């Protein structure tokens, strides 16, 4: 007993007591009534605590002491990867040892003991580590840290136990042991009994040796538990078998509370079942004892005897004998036997069912054979039965309730042993990840994420909540403005809850949406903002769950949008309305809904033209137009109404839509189609071939392939017919007239200049595009055409846009005259003149007849101007009239082509009101090409044979090439017969009567103003009317057109008048054009302009320039000399060596003289 | 600082900053200063201000503060000399009290009930409708103990201002619905649909509270279905004493022009045309429920017919449980039968 720190004299006293003490131990730890009592207490503690083994708390504050010492980390898994919700990584050994220690120590020593001395467990571990040294009786001054630590721990523990006994004494005497020992009733039975014995023998507290008991309870069982669990875990099949075996005896349940929530799991352990019904678990226990425990006994020889070696043990054939004398001590290590292959096959490996044998009744039983795990003889371990039961129960419940995974990827590793007093300790750390055993209790459900089933059993709860909502609502309604915050919060929460589950109980909550709508409609102005948002959100949620339909929702929200004062609510409503419209039109166009909403918007605009509410109609329509959700004429009609509104904001909103809506739509479309651009499929494929193959990369490739395929499919699809808003207008003339009369030509119009310009742009666009006639429009322009008018170029552009071939020339003539007078003169600034000339050219390009000869000749003279902008503008005008009215020009200005045309009579005069005949664009090119081909073939054939039946052959060939692809010739075979038909003259031979030479002037006029050569006209018309153009022809036509445009760009063919697209607007920038080139500006402006181009170029300056900027002077002569090339100085140095004495003297003197003078030229001030 | 010549004046050490050109002197001299209103009392604040202080403390976040304030108010009101007015009119501080019916702390609620009982009963009638709203909310509250206490408040209200409560816009039908939800008797809308065996203890709570609820329900039925003049109803009723007085007059003195005269006299109660919703305010819950206002027992009986089956089944189940619950349930059942039968008797009489 010396090694437990008791004084030597104590042994004597102990002899008196030991009988009583061992009786107690026997009673409570070995035999049944006491043993079961003890076990019951322990099992209760297990059932209560084992679910708390791991708390999954990430901060140490929330963790239990055993988690803190075991270095816990918490991982949160994600659902997609199938990982458990939450897992905790810990060191297994400290976790289990401390957990069991925390469980067992209070049950023996009482909770107060544990609370007063939280370090008890650590001290016990330290004592255990050093117990070997203490037993060996090493002196304490030896420099062995383990020994010293153990000695100190022993001292502390003895002191603490003494304190406990002192307190128990005082309590026994009826005194107050102090506030630290408030409750001594929960001290374990064994200690209580022992205390009684100590007391009855009148042994003072400091001599009451209870430390061995404390050590015995904590040293072996916890480490043994660790080994058993680790040994079982390393073998997954063993885990499964043991779980199956213990399932009836250790039951795990997790009761549901309701609403999808669960309580913490509950554990029920049946000890009797574990002890008798689980042979495999028991076998594992013994096997662990065999492998991992190293018990040994120390015995005193009480009688002399001789020990002789067995035959098997004898080395070299001689049996050795050992004589043991009385009084000697012998040490019997059981570990040697346990690892002897003669008794246990493959002793170093762990075999779970090593000790399983078939019993008489066919059931598995445990036979431990010659294993002596607890020592032997009189001093056999007293607590073996209790320890066995404790370990079995603990292991079984841990295995049943928790899943352990090795934290390292290598799997479980069995650590090496450190020899301790009894069971070995692990040398290295074992990290494990602990999760709940999902098989036992099922996944914990999260109510909000998983839809609660519409179970009838929740019906009453729902009803209760619904009634509560009703009463809360009524309370709120009784005084909406003076509601308390608590009431508001509860009402909001209730609304949120009901909106989420309303779809499950449609009958009960049928009035709920109506309620919300009424609440919102009546009180939206005085509701608390958060509640208001919740109402809107709940309504949208109900719409998403299809409790209410879109029409109802939008008809509720829209009136509020237009009436509310709150900006945040407006934003929210607008966004919700828009997203709802988008989502209901996502799969197919919801015509009914669209029609309803369009009608609402239309009525909103027309009911009160002067209110600003219409702006919401404009915003909504524009947004939906942009996203191509509304593309019909009804939307355009809404915007038409908007542009005719009295309210300036609404009107301009409408006008802006017409001017920019289509462009916006196109841009959005381009943007969305551009996003897949830049995928280099080949590169991606190459990369996946070369680089590491991961799932992620494969996914990326698949995505890219899908994107490219989608894009290709899209490319092949016909372009959706997106008519512009202008083309969908029902009555452009009416709109243009009313816009003009309402906003422009009225004194009471409230629009400012900028807004008026926008309206003017729209009106002139309409006039130009649809060739409308508004005569008063042109006289309206007259008063704005002075150079001093602000943004006059916009007016000029609008005027040009508004002129077309059907405007009477005499209406335009005064305008042109005025522009010429006001703008184009030598006195005017250069850019003014060029703007005027450009404007005149643009007008005349649309209506050439508006010009008279004298003015034209006058204006053309400006091409000799000094200013470049003016020159270019004048040349443009000249070029235009060379094409459309060369006879008005002076002879020398006409140019070669026009002169020839005039002379030959091939040029025709344009007349007012004439309309160009329709033609297929580029048909003449095809015709030309065909003629060429025919000629070539004929030439070849002429060489070979007579041209008798060439005609038929040619035609057949022609029809053979019906389609672009030759593959489907069999299907087109039936078409070959067509050529025998008489109605259509398929061939067009050249031997027609030469009518074209004899055509009259009137005929030629039919072909329009911009028509090309007269000879071609007749031929094209005949080609289009006499032949069916095959797909192959059309393909060729396309090709020729592309070729022609390329030629034009490359300058292969003569310059032609730039053709203007009537669909694109004419802007002020076109009128100003190159005016910036004019030299009219002063030098500073020009310099500034040049400098503007050099902005942000500082970084690219040379180093030298940068250095130079910092300094004021340039480099000195010294600097230059230092940097001078060595080879250049070489010649001079050589020359110096060859100098004669005289020369040297001369040089030196010269130097002196120069110094005196102060430099070559002398210092002259 | 710039003087008139545009020169900047220099600041000098030890001298005050020169005044600005547009400086206005606001100092003045006076022999004495008199403050018109000031409190010079050294004693505690007057009872009125203390009362209002405690009223404001009713919304304090600490439950013990709320309870203490309530107990102060209770004692103040109890110790008032009879016939004197409350320190604050009821209409101003009742709205502060009512949300406490839904208070989470149970001592606060019990103290509140004490306070309410201390209030002068005759003034409560005007606020019955509003009080009822809060009681209904408490009856359906998610917290079980608030639900458990709710019927206590209802009993008090029925006792003090039963007729006003029954006659108010949401008094009869909505409270019935709340009772059905409170007792967990299934949904009040769809009577024909069998919800199956209802676990009685589930929504109703433990036996004690169930008994309390059942007793309150019985009182509720008695108040609602039985006319005060009915001999079976509560005997003491001062409300219709005047009517009986007229009856006596008619029987004794035939000079009065017509037997229905009292019906053409000015109404006795305030806001007796509330059901017409003349001012079309937000207080009207919804159109459907406006129709459910039951002025007299006859109308209440008619409206109650929809719920009779549910209630009967619920009471039947409760009766089968036996014990205290069973006894209370059978008492309520008898009351129900009597109340509904009384209507038929009346009809028979008319027929």
Q: Please answer yes or no on whether B170 and A474 come within 8 Å at the CB atom.
A: yes
Does the pLDDT at position A440 exceed 50? no
In a domain, residue B112? The reply is: no
A470 part of contact set with chain B, CB < 8 Å: yes
Q: What are phi and psi of A1022, to 5 degrees?
A: -70, -35
Residues in chain B within 8 Å Cβ distance of A501: none
pLDDT of residue A227: 82
- Chain A: residue whose CA lies nearest to B287: A515
Q: What is the mean pLDDT of residues A642-652?
A: 92
Residues in chain B: 351
Rounded to the nearest angstrom, the minimum Cα separation between A738 and chain B is 45
Picking from A468, A470, A486, the nearest residue to B141 by CB comes out as A468
pLDDT of residue A639: 93
Rounded to the nearest angstrom, the minimum Cα separation between B43 and chain A is 35
Q: Please answer yes or no on whether A482 and B95 come within 8 Å at the CB atom.
A: yes
- According to the annotation, is A284 in a ligand binding site? no
Residue among A880, A923, A811 nearest A1057 (CA)? A880
Q: Which residue has the higher pLDDT, B253 or B125?
A: B125
Does the pLDDT at position A681 exceed 70? yes
Q: How many domains does chain B have?
A: 1
Q: What is the mean pLDDT of residues A243-249?
A: 80
Q: Crossing angle for the helix pair A633-643 and A732-739, nearest 10 degrees? A: 20
Q: Which of A5-19, A386-400, A770-784, A1029-1043 has the lowest mean pLDDT?
A: A5-19
**ipTM, interface predicted TM-score of the complex:** 0.74
Compute the Cα dihedral for A902, A903, A908, A912 and give only its sign: positive
CB of A461 within 8 A of CB of A257? Answer: no
- Chain A: residue whose CA lies nearest to B180: A464
Residues in chain A: 1165
- Chain A: residue whose CA lies nearest to B199: A457
B59 part of contact set with chain A, CB < 8 Å: yes
Average pLDDT, chain B: 76
CB of A862 within 8 A of CB of A833? Answer: yes
Q: What is the mean pLDDT of residues A347-372?
A: 68
pLDDT of residue A1142: 95
Residue among A1045, A1006, A1071, A499 nearest A785 (CA)? A1071
Dist. CA A955–CA A81, nearest whole Å: 70
Strand pairing partners for A86?
A76
In a domain, residue B290? The reply is: yes
Q: What is the mean pLDDT of residues B215-224?
A: 88
Picking from A466, A471, A515, the nearest residue to B133 by CB comes out as A471
Does the pLDDT at position B236 exceed 50? no
Chain A interface, mutation test: which of B198, B285, B287, B307, most A Cβ atoms within 10 Å? Answer: B285
CB of A815 within 8 A of CB of A799? Answer: yes
For residue A741, give both structure tokens.
Answer: 């009369």
Q: What are phi and psi of B37, to 5 degrees?
A: -130, 120
Strand pairing partners for A269?
A250
B202 part of contact set with chain A, CB < 8 Å: yes
A497 part of contact set with chain B, CB < 8 Å: no
CB of A1017 within 8 A of CB of A1011? Answer: yes
Counting Cα atoms < 13 Å in the Cβ hemisphere of A917 gives: 13
Compute the Cα dihedral for A838, A840, A845, A846 and give only its sign: positive
For residue A754, give both structure tokens.
Answer: 């900028």
Residues in chain A within 8 Å Cβ distance of B136: 467, 470-471, 474
Picking from B95, B181, B195, the nearest residue to A464 by CB comes out as B181
Dist. CA B152–CA B144, nearest whole Å: 14
Dist. CA A335–CA A375, nearest whole Å: 10
Picking from B99, B203, B285, the nearest residue to A460 by CB comes out as B203
pLDDT of residue A1005: 40
pLDDT digits (tens, 9 = 90+) for B28-47: 888 888 776 666 666 666 77
pLDDT of residue A427: 66
Average pLDDT, chain A: 77
In a domain, residue B92? The reply is: no
In a domain, residue B291? The reply is: yes
CB of A622 within 8 A of CB of A665? Answer: no
In a domain, residue B36? The reply is: no
Rounded to the nearest angstrom, the minimum Cα separation between A546 and chain B is 23
Q: What are phi and psi of A716, to 5 degrees?
A: -75, -20
Q: What is the mean pLDDT of residues B256-263?
A: 68
| pTM greater than 0.80 (yes/no) | no
Q: Please answer yes or no on whether A464 and B190 come within 8 Å at the CB atom.
A: no
What letters, b where the CB count within 10 A reaches 16 and e where it falls short, cover A1059-1080? Answer: eeeeeebbebebbbbbbebbeb
In a domain, residue B215? The reply is: yes
Q: Please answer yes or no on whether A459 and B136 come within 8 Å at the CB atom.
A: no
B213 part of contact set with chain A, CB < 8 Å: no
pLDDT of residue A573: 93
Picking from A459, A465, A472, the nearest residue to B187 by CB comes out as A459
B177 part of contact set with chain A, CB < 8 Å: yes
In a domain, residue B48? The reply is: no
pLDDT of residue A815: 94
Does the pLDDT at position A718 exceed 70? no
B184 part of contact set with chain A, CB < 8 Å: yes
Dist. CA B104–CA B146, nearest whole Å: 7
- Chain B: residue whose CA lies nearest to A493: B142
DSSP calls for A729-762: -S-HHHHHHHHIIIIIS-TT----HHHHHHHHHH
A331 Cβ contact list (under 8 Å, min separation 6) = A296, A297, A298
Q: Please answer yes or no on whether B286 and A511 come within 8 Å at the CB atom.
A: yes
Dist. CA A218–CA A212, nearest whole Å: 10
Picking from B137, B141, B285, the nearest residue to A477 by CB comes out as B285
Residues in chain A within 8 Å Cβ distance of B202: 460
Does the pLDDT at position A1075 exceed 70? no
- Chain B: residue whose CA lies nearest to A523: B282
- B33 — alpha (psi -120 to 50), left (phi > 0) or beta? beta
Q: What is the mean pLDDT of residues A470-492?
A: 77
Q: What is the mean pLDDT of residues A1128-1139?
A: 87
Q: Please answer yes or no on whether B282 and A464 come within 8 Å at the CB atom.
A: no
What letters, b where the CB count within 10 A reaches 16 and e where it falls short, cover A288-308? Answer: bbbbbbbbebebeeeeeeeee
pLDDT of residue A844: 93
> Containing domain of residue B224, as a range?
159-351
Rounded to the nearest angstrom, the minimum Cα separation between A258 and chain B is 12
Q: Please answer yes or no on whether B188 and A463 come within 8 Å at the CB atom.
A: yes
pLDDT of residue A79: 45
Chain A interface, mutation test: which of B131, B137, B196, most A Cβ atoms within 10 Å? Answer: B137
pLDDT of residue A1006: 40
Band of the pLDDT at A1, cuts 50, 70, 90?
very low
A736 Cβ contact list (under 8 Å, min separation 6) = A763, A766, A767, A770, A772, A774
Does the pLDDT at position A767 exceed 80? yes
Picking from A467, A486, A514, the nearest residue to B140 by CB comes out as A467
Dist. CA A1026–CA A985, nearest whole Å: 6
Q: Please answer yes or no on whether A460 and B288 come within 8 Å at the CB atom.
A: no
A489 part of contact set with chain B, CB < 8 Å: no
CB of A367 within 8 A of CB of A357? Answer: yes
pLDDT of residue A499: 92
DSSP calls for A415-475: PPEE--SSB-EESS--EEEEEE-HHHH-PPP-TTTSPPP--GGGHHHHHHHHHHHHHHHHH
Dist. CA A1109–CA A1105, nearest whole Å: 6
Dist. CA A205–CA A172, nearest whole Å: 13
Picking from A478, A486, A514, the nearest residue to B133 by CB comes out as A478
Q: Which of A395-399, A795-799, A933-937 has the lowest mean pLDDT?
A: A395-399
The secondary structure element, H or E, covering residue A819 is helix A809-822
Dist. CA A174–CA B313, nearest whole Å: 62
Residues in chain B within 8 Å Cβ distance of A527: none
Rounded to the nearest angstrom, the minimum Cα separation between A264 and chain B is 22
pLDDT > 70: what percent of chain B?
69
Q: Please answer yes or no on whether A464 and B140 come within 8 Å at the CB atom.
A: yes
B316 part of contact set with chain A, CB < 8 Å: no
In a domain, residue B237? The reply is: yes
CB of B44 within 8 A of CB of B52? Answer: no
């Amino acid at each position: 007993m010396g090694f437990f720190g008791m004084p030597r004299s104590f042994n004597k006293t102990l002899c008196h007591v030991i009988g009583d003490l061992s009786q107690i131990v026997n009673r409570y730890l070995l035999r049944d009534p006491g043993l079961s009592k003890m076990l019951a207490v322990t099992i209760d503690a297990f059932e209560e605590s084992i679910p708390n083994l791991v708390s999954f708390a990430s901060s140490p504050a929330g963790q239990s002491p055993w988690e803190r010492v075991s270095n816990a980390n918490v991982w949160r898994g994600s659902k997609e990867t199938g990982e458990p919700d939450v897992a905790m990584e810990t060191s297994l050994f400290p976790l289990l040892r401390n957990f069991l220690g925390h469980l067992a120590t209070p049950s023996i020593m009482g909770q107060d003991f544990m609370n007063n001395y939280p370090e008890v467990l650590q001290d016990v571990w330290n004592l255990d580590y050093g117990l070997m040294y203490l037993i060996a009786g090493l002196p304490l001054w030896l420099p062995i840290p383990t020994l010293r630590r153990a000695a100190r721990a022993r001292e502390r523990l003895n002191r603490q136990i003494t304190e406990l006994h002192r307190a128990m004494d005082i309590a026994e005497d009826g005194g107050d042991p102090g506030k630290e020992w408030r409750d001594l009733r929960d001290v374990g039975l064994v200690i209580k009994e022992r205390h009684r014995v100590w007391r009855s023998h009148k042994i003072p507290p400091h001599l009451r040796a209870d430390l061995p008991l404390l050590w015995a309870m904590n040293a072996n069982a916890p480490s043994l538990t660790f080994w058993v669990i680790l040994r079982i875990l390393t073998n997954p099949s063993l885990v499964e078998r043991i779980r199956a075996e213990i399932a009836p005896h250790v039951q795990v349940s997790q009761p549901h509370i309701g609403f999808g929530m669960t309580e913490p799991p509950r554990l029920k352990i049946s000890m009797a079942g574990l002890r008798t019904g689980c042979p495999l678990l028991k076998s594992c226990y013994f096997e662990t004892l065999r492998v991992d425990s190293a018990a040994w006994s120390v015995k005193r020889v009480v009688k002399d005897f001789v020990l002789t070696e067995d035959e098997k043990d004898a080395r070299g054939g001689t049996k050795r004998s050992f004589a043991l004398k009385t009084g000697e001590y012998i040490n019997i290590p059981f570990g040697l036997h346990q690892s002897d292959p003669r008794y246990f096959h493959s002793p170093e490996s762990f075999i779970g069912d090593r000790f399983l044998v078939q019993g008489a009744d066919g059931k598995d039983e445990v036979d431990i054979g010659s294993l002596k795990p607890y020592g032997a003889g009189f001093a056999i371990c007293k607590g073996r039965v209790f320890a066995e039961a404790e370990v079995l129960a603990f292991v079984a419940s841990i295995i049943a309730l928790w899943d352990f995974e090795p934290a390292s990827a290598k799997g479980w590793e069995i650590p090496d042993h450190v020899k301790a007093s009894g069971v070995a300790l692990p040398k290295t750390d074992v990290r494990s990840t602990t999760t709940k055993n999902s098989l036992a209790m099922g996944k914990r459900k999260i109510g909000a994420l998983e839809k609660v089933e519409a179970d009838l059993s929740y019906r009453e709860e729902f009803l209760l909540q619904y009634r509560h909502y009703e009463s809360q609502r009524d309370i709120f309604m009784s005084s909406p403005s003076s509601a308390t915050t608590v009431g508001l919060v509860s009402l909001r929460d209730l609304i949120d809850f009901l909106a989420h589950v309303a779809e499950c109980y449609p009958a009960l909550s049928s009035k709920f949406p109506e309620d919300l709508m009424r609440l919102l409609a009546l009180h939206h102005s005085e509701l608390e903002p958060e509640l208001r948002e919740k109402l809107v959100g709940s309504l949208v949620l109900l719409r998403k769950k299809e409790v209410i339909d879109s029409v109802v929702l939008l008809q509720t929200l829209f009136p509020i949008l237009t009436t509310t004062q709150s900006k945040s609510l407006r934003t929210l409503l607008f966004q919700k309305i828009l997203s709802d419209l988008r989502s209901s039109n996502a799969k197919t166009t919801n015509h009914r809904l669209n029609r309803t909403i369009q009608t609402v918007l239309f009525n909103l605009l027309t009911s009160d033209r002067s209110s600003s509410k219409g702006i919401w109609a404009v915003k909504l329509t524009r947004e939906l137009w942009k996203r191509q959700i509304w593309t019909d004429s009804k939307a355009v009609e809404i915007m038409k109404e908007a542009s005719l509104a009295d309210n300036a904001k609404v009107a301009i909103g409408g006008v802006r839509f017409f001017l920019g809506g289509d462009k916006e739509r196109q841009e959005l479309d381009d943007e969305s189609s551009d996003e897949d651009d830049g995928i280099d499929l080949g590169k991606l494929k190459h990369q996946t071939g070369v680089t590491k193959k991961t799932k992620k990369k494969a996914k990326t490739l698949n995505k890219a392939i899908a994107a490219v395929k989608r894009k290709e499919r899209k490319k092949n699809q016909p372009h959706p017919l997106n008519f512009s808003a202008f083309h969908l207008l029902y009555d452009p003339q009416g709109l243009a007239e009313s816009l003009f009369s309402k906003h422009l030509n009225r004194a009471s119009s409230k629009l400012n200049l900028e807004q008026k310009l926008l309206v003017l742009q729209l009106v002139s666009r309409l006039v130009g595009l649809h060739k409308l006639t508004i005569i008063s429009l042109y006289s309206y322009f007259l008063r704005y055409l002075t150079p001093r008018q602000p943004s006059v170029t916009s007016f000029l552009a609008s005027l040009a846009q508004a002129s077309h071939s059907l405007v009477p020339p005499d209406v335009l003539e005064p305008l042109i005259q005025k522009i010429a007078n006001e703008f184009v003169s030598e006195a005017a600034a250069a850019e003014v003149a060029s703007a005027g000339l450009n404007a005149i050219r643009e007008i005349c390009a649309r209506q050439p007849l508006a010009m008279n000869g004298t003015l034209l000749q006058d204006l053309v003279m400006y091409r000799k101007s000094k200013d470049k902008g003016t020159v270019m503008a004048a040349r443009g005008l000249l070029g235009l009239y060379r094409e459309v009215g060369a006879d008005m020009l002076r002879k020398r200005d006409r140019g070669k082509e026009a002169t020839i045309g005039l002379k030959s009579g091939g040029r025709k005069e344009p007349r007012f009101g004439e309309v160009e005949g329709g033609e297929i664009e580029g048909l003449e090119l095809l015709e030309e090409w065909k003629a060429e081909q025919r000629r070539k073939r004929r030439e070849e054939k002429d060489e070979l044979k007579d041209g008798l039946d060439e005609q038929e052959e040619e035609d057949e060939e022609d029809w053979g090439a019906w389609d672009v692809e030759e593959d489907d010739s069999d299907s087109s075979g039936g078409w070959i017969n067509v050529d025998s038909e008489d109605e259509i003259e398929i061939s067009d031979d050249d031997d027609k009567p030469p009518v074209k030479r004899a055509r009259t002037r009137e005929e030629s006029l039919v072909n329009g103003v911009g028509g090309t050569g007269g000879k071609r006209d007749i031929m094209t018309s005949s080609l289009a009317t006499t032949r069916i153009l095959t797909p192959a022809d059309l393909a060729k036509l396309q090709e020729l057109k592309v070729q022609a445009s390329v030629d034009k760009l490359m300058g292969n063919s003569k310059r032609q008048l730039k053709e203007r697209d009537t669909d694109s607007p004419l802007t002020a920038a076109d009128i100003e054009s190159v005016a910036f080139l004019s030299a009219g500006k002063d030098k500073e402006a020009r310099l500034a302009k040049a400098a503007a181009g050099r902005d942000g170029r500082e970084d690219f300056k040379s180093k030298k320039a940068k250095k130079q900027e910092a300094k004021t002077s340039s480099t000195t002569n010294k600097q230059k000399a230092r940097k001078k090339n060595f080879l250049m100085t070489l010649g001079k140095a050589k020359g110096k060596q060859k100098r004669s004495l005289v020369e040297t003297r001369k040089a030196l003197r010269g130097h002196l003289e120069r110094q005196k003078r102060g430099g070559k030229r002398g210092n002259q001030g | 600082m710039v003087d008139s010549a545009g020169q900047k004046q220099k600041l000098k050490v030890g001298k005050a900053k020169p005044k600005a050109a547009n400086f206005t002197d606001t100092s003045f001299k006076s022999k004495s200063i008199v403050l018109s209103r000031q409190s010079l009392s050294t004693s505690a604040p007057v009872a009125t201000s203390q009362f209002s202080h405690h009223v404001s403390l009713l919304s304090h976040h600490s439950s013990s503060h709320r309870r203490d304030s309530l107990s102060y108010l209770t004692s103040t009101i109890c110790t008032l000399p009879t016939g004197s007015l409350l320190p604050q009119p009821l209409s101003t501080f009742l709205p502060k009290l009512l949300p406490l019916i839904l208070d989470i702390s149970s001592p606060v609620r019990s103290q509140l009930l004490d306070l309410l009982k201390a209030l002068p009963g005759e003034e409560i009638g005007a606020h019955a409708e509003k009080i009822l709203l809060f009681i209904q909310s408490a009856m359906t509250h998610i917290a079980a103990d608030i639900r458990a206490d709710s019927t206590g408040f209802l009993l008090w209200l029925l006792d003090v201002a039963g007729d006003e409560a029954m006659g108010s816009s949401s008094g009869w039908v909505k409270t019935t619905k709340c009772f059905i939800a409170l007792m967990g008797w299934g949904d009040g809308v769809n009577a024909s649909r069998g919800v199956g065996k209802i676990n009685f203890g589930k929504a109703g709570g433990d036996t004690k509270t169930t008994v309390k609820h059942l007793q309150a329900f019985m009182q509720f039925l008695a108040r609602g279905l039985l006319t005060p003049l009915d001999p079976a109803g509560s005997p003491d009723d001062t409300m219709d004493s005047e009517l009986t007085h007229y009856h006596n007059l008619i029987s004794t003195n035939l000079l009065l022009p017509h037997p229905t005269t009292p019906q053409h006299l000015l109404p006795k109660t305030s806001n007796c045309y509330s059901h017409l919703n003349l001012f079309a305010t937000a207080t009207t819950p919804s159109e459907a429920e406006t129709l459910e206002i039951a002025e007299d027992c006859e109308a209440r009986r008619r409206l109650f017919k929809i719920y009779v089956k549910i209630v009967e089944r619920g009471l039947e189940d409760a009766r089968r449980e036996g014990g205290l619950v069973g006894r209370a349930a059978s008492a309520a059942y008898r009351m129900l039968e009597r109340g509904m039968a009384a209507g038929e008797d009346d009809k028979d009489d008319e027929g």
